[in-house]
Structure 1
Amino acid sequence: MLFDMKRSEQAKERRRFFQDPDRENLHWVWRTYLKQKTPWMIVMLVLIVGQGVVYQQFLALTEGGLRVIFENGTVAQLLWVSAVVFAIFVLRGFLSFATPRISAWLTSEIVLEIRKDIISNLLRLDLAYFDRTNSGEIIHRVVAQANALGTFLGQTSVIAVREAVTVLVVSGYLIYKSPLLFAAALIAIPSVALSMQFVGHRIRSLQIGVEKATSDYVTNIEEMSSGMRTVKITGQEEYEQDRLFNASGLIRTLNYRLLSTQALIPPLIDLITAFVFVIVIAGGGYLILTDTSGMDAAGLITFLLGLAILFDPIRAVANYFAQLQGILVMLDSVCAHLKLNSALALAENPEQDIDTQSDFVLEDVTFGYEGEEPLFRDLSLRLKGGEVTAVVGPTGSGKTTILSLLTRLYDVGDGKITLGDADVKDLDLERFRKSFSVVAQDIVIFNDTIKENIRYARTDASDEEIWAAAEAAEIAPLMRSRGDTPLGPKGSQLSGGQKQRIAIARAFLNDAPIVLLDEATSALDQGTEDRIQAAMQRLTKNKTTVVVSHRLSSVMNADQIYFLENGTLIEGGTHEELLQRDGLYAAMFTAQKQGYD
């Protein structure tokens, strides 16, 4: 019984034109983006009211002109009425030009502000959000949804207000002319309301499907573009084509259904309009024939003309409310995003002094990625300040995850990580992360020059500093030869080793006190790695350095080596100590050495 009542209440909520979240979201839009623009909105409202008054004056002058004709007026009177009608429409033309100009500015400002807010919040979120969110959803929200929301709140809403004001002004004049006929025309209102409720509910459900299909489609395109090398090598062009064609077909189908549903509105309004016209013609004709209301032919024609003027704005307002249902879906998506907070707990009064020469200590750390079993259970490690610590082990053992925890890309579930005497959660996050230079295996390369890609590590660096970093990373010769040539999307014109040397150059340029090397030389051939080792030693000298590598020959000189397997610490010690134990590290080292030989 209670379950049935709950389902009934939920169904009623879905059928309501404005649901509770919609009201909250609209209030938020008003407070965030529109309230501060109230003066400009008042100016537009004045202009819009002026346009509505033009229609009212047009009807009054038309009725006067008809009486001049029907009651044997003079040609001069007719010319005067015609000239005034022309003048007021010139005025309306000016008002119609000024209003869209202001609304276009308002729209562009709102779009810009929404995009800024989405991007700002996006960059505040923790890495876990990006692990679980499709790139297409993010791109679609920043590009399409922000643009659609801004356009609707700006230009579309201004047009709707203009049409609504026209309806009110003209309706007021028609009520003044004949309250009885206008009351008869109001019989259409329940029909319009019921039609909008039915169509609006259908549009909302279809818009949800369109938004999901579009974000998935953008994700598919991004995946195909990023993996084009693999697509070409494996000959999967036909598969990718079918995948994108199917996604395109789904969007086409959903958009067709959405537009078809929206297309119901004009014929419904036309049928209602025809019905109203029949009532007014019959009723007005009866009043004239019986001479019971004082209405004459000029008055009836003017009333009918007023109705004709009314129904185009009514149709526009109805279309606006139909579109509103789709916009409310987008608005809910944007609001839900902007309400997201980082899962990282930020200290209220974070410590500003960070002792970067102290030891990192992982104490009884338990951690697992969202939706997965814990990778670490009660893991304890000490990474000594000013020394080189290597973390090695087979794939999936948790090596890179340790670097993510050290830099607070994720927070531990249980246990804690300390730097010196401070829990890393109590440190100022921005200052803390600036303490790191990172050379990661997933290198971000922009479609710009090598120099500007290196500068990304420290945007205020001088050209001399950039060249020094490039020389240290042995990327300077390539930087000279390429000059100002961009590197292609995601550095597509570079080899893996060249990308890695850019990442190493960034680390030299940043020159932070803590260095994290995540497979820093995995894409380098043995000869290049040997040549760059001296530079790497300069980079890590007297700095706390954590090295993650599958190539054990590159960590032989580390002060401490930890061997992990399936998130568990198996053994630790220097290279020589681990070889003497003849455990898993020794077995892996021997296997790799035989492979090199």
Structure 2
Amino acid sequence: MTKKQKKNYGALLSVKDQDNLQWLWHKYCRSRWKMILLILGMIIIQGVVYQQFLAMTENGLRVIFESGTLRELFGVCLYVFFLFSVRGLMSYLIPITSMRMSNGVVFEVRRDMIDHMMNLDLAYFERTKSGKILQQVVGQPQTLGIFVGGAVAGAIRDSVTVVIVSGYLIYKNPYLFATALIVLPLIIWVMNYVAERVREVQEKIQEASIEYMSGIEEMTNGMRTVKIANQEEVERRRMLKGTALMRDLVLKSQTTQALVMPSIDLSTAFVYALVIGGGGYMVLSPDFDADGAEIITFLLGMVMVFDPARLVAQFVSGIQNNLVILNRVRGFYDEKPTINDVADPIEEFDTGADIVLRDVDFSYSDDQPLFKGLNMTFEGGKVSAIVGSTGSGKTTILSLLSRLYDAQGGEITIDGIPIDKLKLERLRNSFSVVAQDIVIFNNSLWENIRYVNRDASDEVVWKAAEDAEIADFIRSRGNAPVGPKGAQLSGGQKQRIAIARAFLRDAPILLLDEATSALDQATEARIKTALDRLTKGKTTIVVAHRLSSVSDADNIFVLEKGKLIERGKHAKLLADNGLYAQLYKAQKQGYDEKK
């Protein structure tokens, strides 16, 4: 940690904190000014109630100790009951109104974060841990809402109480009240000390929480592997290690914050001793116009001041937790999408035209370039295949075509128009994709297929299911959900859902990324006829590992380590006896040996 950072931590509110609080106010709270004024009004009423209670207590004591009447005593009691009734009503209305406001803030924060997240590039999701995303969208806004609606409202209420009651005590006896100011420097020092250390620990808690949540998701997603490999004990130890780290960090934060209360208690005891001693002297001395009723009321007032003052101090000591969370919520918006529409994007283009990659450069990281000057042409209305060894860049080409990533050099065109000049929504609507990573939702098979076209009629959905050879399975399962991420489905069943989606979407350009890799040869043969119908008249680009599935392609591109080394039809590539021929012969021999 730098000296500058330590200096910032030493203050309750750094410049960044102040900027974040202003952002929160202007974006989410200022529009609720009427509700805020209502809450403040009720808080002031509650503070006045405390002041009036003190005044009536002093009057009541004088009625008792001096020559008073039962009628006056009854009047005092009746007024005190009325005051506490008002206090009780405010104690109900203030938190209800505050939480209603905070729930609105939480909703809007989450809405804006989701809107922003949906616009971020795919690269963000591939480099960001899922635990961090869950914490940002679920946990942090909720904590922030509790802070806005509960903690801040409570701190304002307690602060107003302190100010109003203190003002009354100053009016009654400024000498005694001045005694309380002796401990003020100590309280300020304690607050700064706690704030500095709590913020440091809270940053570590946030990071540990992200790791912990990501670890839990990894474990649950990989539970099949965990069970088969008998690694339950390893995962248990890993989770317990994360749990222990969270425990230790939270305990450290709580231990630091625990310094606040005893420090204030000792300060309060010191003040009470001075007030009792000083007040007693004033009552006994003829030089002061003070009586027992005034001193007792003053002591009661000090109790009413120090109790909310303790809560305010507790709020201040804990505010660093919320400032860290606020900083992370706002910091989420520092993530900016890089794949956007240009000004006045082109919406109309020939989706059946050639797709051309011209001198394309691309890399996932600066030290690992993938493509350098790659040139390829996918002819419109024809079937093109991309084959090659793992890591050669086959799937990356599909990602570049649909602008999940942008090329870092050269250009990709459709109908002669660079795709970064096309309207992004229009471009992506031109593609149907059957990918090897299939997203399956915990819903019915029917709803999983219908996901890509929510307006499709039942007849159209059934037709897509029939074409993908999954209609009978839908009838047998009915509306039963398929489990998280399709846990109750086989790999082949998931791929048939993806194929059915492609039929239902019916876009003019079809991208098949290992579309039949999880199917047995018999099922693949049944679906091949349907795929032939699906690809008819469309520009189709097939990424395949099983070379026998692309032997009928109009053009086959062979990649190796990001370079195009061969291209042509199946027969030509076999005759050239290059890499394609070697791969094909090796696969064919493997199939023959299995038979």
Contact (CA 8 Å) 1:121, 1:338: kept in 2 or not?
yes
**1:390 aligned partner:** 385
- The Cα shift of 1:213 comes to 0.9
**2:10 aligned partner:** 15
Q: Which amino acid aligns with 1:582?
A: N
User: Cα distance 1:409–1:570, how it changes in 2: closer, same or farther (>3 A)?
Assistant: same
**2:313 aligned partner:** 318
1:383 & 1:152 partners in 2: Cα distance? 56
1:400 aligns with 2:395: yes
Q: Which amino acid aligns with 2:265?
A: D
**1:531 aligned partner:** 526
- The Cα shift of 1:108 comes to 1.4
Q: Deviations over 1:222-279 (max 9, x none)?
A: 1111111111111111111111111111111111111112222111111111111122
Q: Deviations over 1:539-568 (max 9, x none)?
A: 111111110010001111111111001111
Q: Which amino acid aligns with 2:66?
A: E
1:73 aligns with 2:65: no
**1:255 aligned partner:** 250
1:306 aligns with 2:335: no
Contact (CA 8 Å) 1:128, 1:370: kept in 2 or not?
no
Q: 2:56 aligns with which of 58, 61, 73?
A: 61
**1:26 aligned partner:** 21
1:269 & 1:499 partners in 2: Cα distance? 63
- The Cα shift of 1:117 comes to 1.4
Aligned residues with identical type, % of pairs: 52
SS class of match (2:364): coil
- The Cα shift of 1:371 comes to 5.6
- The Cα shift of 1:208 comes to 0.9
**2:281 aligned partner:** 286
SS class of match (1:577): helix
1:467 aligns with 2:462: yes
1:258 & 1:397 partners in 2: Cα distance? 49
**1:209 aligned partner:** 204
1:275 aligns with 2:286: no
Aligned positions of 1:226-245 closer than 5 A:
226-245=221-240
Q: 1:454 aligns with which of 423, 427, 449?
A: 449
- The Cα shift of 1:290 comes to 2.3
**1:50 aligned partner:** 45
Q: 2:82 aligns with which of 60, 83, 87?
A: 87
Contact (CA 8 Å) 1:359, 1:382: kept in 2 or not?
yes
Alpha-carbon RMSD: 1.3
1:277 & 1:591 partners in 2: Cα distance? 91
1:372 & 1:538 partners in 2: Cα distance? 43
1:374 aligns with 2:369: yes
1:227 & 1:457 partners in 2: Cα distance? 27
Contact (CA 8 Å) 2:399, 2:405: kept in 1 or not?
yes
**2:178 aligned partner:** 183
SS class of match (2:368): coil
**1:565 aligned partner:** 560
**1:3 aligned partner:** none
1:7 & 1:471 partners in 2: Cα distance? 65
2:468 & 2:226 partners in 1: Cα distance? 32
1:361 aligns with 2:356: yes
User: Cα distance 1:372–1:467, how it changes in 2: closer, same or farther (>3 A)?
Assistant: farther
TM-score, reference length from structure 2: 0.98
Q: 1:106 aligns with which of 101, 112, 124?
A: 101
SS class of match (1:545): strand
Q: 1:551 aligns with which of 546, 568, 571?
A: 546
1:338 aligns with 2:372: no
**1:417 aligned partner:** 412
What is the aligned residue count?
Answer: 592
**1:155 aligned partner:** 150
**Which of 287-296 and 533-542 deviates more?**
287-296
- The Cα shift of 1:372 comes to 4.6
Q: Which amino acid aligns with 1:227?
A: G
SS class of match (2:308): helix
Q: 1:576 aligns with which of 567, 571, 579?
A: 571
- The Cα shift of 1:592 comes to 0.7
1:479 & 1:253 partners in 2: Cα distance? 50
2:144 & 2:207 partners in 1: Cα distance? 17
SS class of match (1:242): helix
Q: Which amino acid aligns with 2:131?
A: G
- The Cα shift of 1:286 comes to 2.4
Q: 2:322 aligns with which of 324, 327, 330?
A: 327
SS class of match (1:375): strand
1:267 & 1:353 partners in 2: Cα distance? 72
- The Cα shift of 1:9 comes to 3.7
**Which of 354-363 and 240-249 deviates more?**
354-363
Contact (CA 8 Å) 1:365, 1:376: kept in 2 or not?
yes
1:293 & 1:40 partners in 2: Cα distance? 47
SS class of match (1:130): helix
- The Cα shift of 1:96 comes to 1.0
